[in-house]
């Protein structure tokens, strides 16, 4: 009987661990979906209307797989394309997705939306985890410096708007 209870406790513990891993993956995919939707509600400078929407991040970024899974999906008529931020032949980035520990590009290019996953500086949008929910803060001044505007619908959903 004791052995049965021990095995039951181990199996229960594995089930809880598997559930926690599943929740983490779902959270990363949810963050990728947030970023995709940020793109839907962002207005870029006119020159990029027909070109692919290039999303740059590091393959080491935990969001890489979720962002990469969206490749080819249309964002306002532009195909979503994920590429390595540090690759020397990376084309112009429309969106730079940075992990909270990543260094920001020296000066974001005009038309680049910088999204940071976690606390940091000089990002137009910062993803934050608040009471087990994913929320986001928007810095409209940072966005304006890069020639970007956000829909009022997106601004209303933000936790904080600066």
Largest CA distance in the chain: 72
Residue 6, φ and ψ in degrees, nearest 5: -65, -45
Distances (CA, A) of 93 to 31, 105, 135, 153, 156: 19, 11, 24, 24, 26
Record the tokens describing residue 157, joined without a space.
């959903």
Tokens describing residue 136:
């986001």
* Mean of all residue pLDDT scores within the chain: 78
Q: What is the pLDDT of residues 43-61, one digit of tens each?
A: 887 655 678 889 998 888 8
Residues 6+ apart with CB under 8 A from 98: 57, 61, 104, 114, 115, 116, 117, 120, 123
Least confident residue range of 30-39, 80-89, 96-105 = 96-105
Please name the residues in contact with 150: beta carbons below 8 A apart, sequence gap of 6 or more.
Answer: 41, 42, 43, 138, 140, 143
Distance CA 10, CA 61 (A): 32
**Is the pLDDT reported for residue 34 higher than 70?**
yes
Read off the pTM.
Answer: 0.77
Handedness of CA 54, 57, 58, 62 (dihedral sign): negative
Condensed to tens digits (0 to 9), the pLDDT of residues 137-152 reads 999 999 988 889 999 9
Q: Is 1 helix (H, G, I), strand (E, B) or coil?
A: coil
> Has residue 74 got a pLDDT over 70?
yes
Tell me, what's the pLDDT at 80?
Answer: 92
């Amino acid at each position: 009987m004791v052995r049965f209870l021990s095995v039951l406790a181990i199996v229960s513990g594995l089930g809880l661990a598997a559930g926690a891993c599943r929740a983490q993956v779902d959270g990363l995919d949810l963050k990728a979906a947030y970023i995709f939707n940020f793109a839907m509600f962002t207005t870029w400078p006119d020159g990029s209307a027909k070109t692919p929407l290039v999303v740059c991040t590091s393959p080491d970024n935990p969001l890489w797989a979720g962002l990469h899974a969206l490749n080819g999906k249309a964002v306002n008529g532009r195909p979503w394309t994920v590429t390595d931020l540090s690759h020397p032949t990376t084309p112009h980035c429309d969106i730079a997705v940075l992990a909270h520990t990543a260094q920001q590009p020296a000066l974001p290019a005009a038309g680049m939306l910088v999204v940071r996953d976690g606390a940091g500086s000089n990002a137009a949008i910062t993803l934050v985890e608040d009471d087990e929910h994913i929320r986001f803060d928007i810095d409209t001044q940072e966005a304006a410096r890069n020639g970007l505007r956000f829909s009022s619908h997106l601004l209303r959903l933000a936790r904080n708007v600066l």
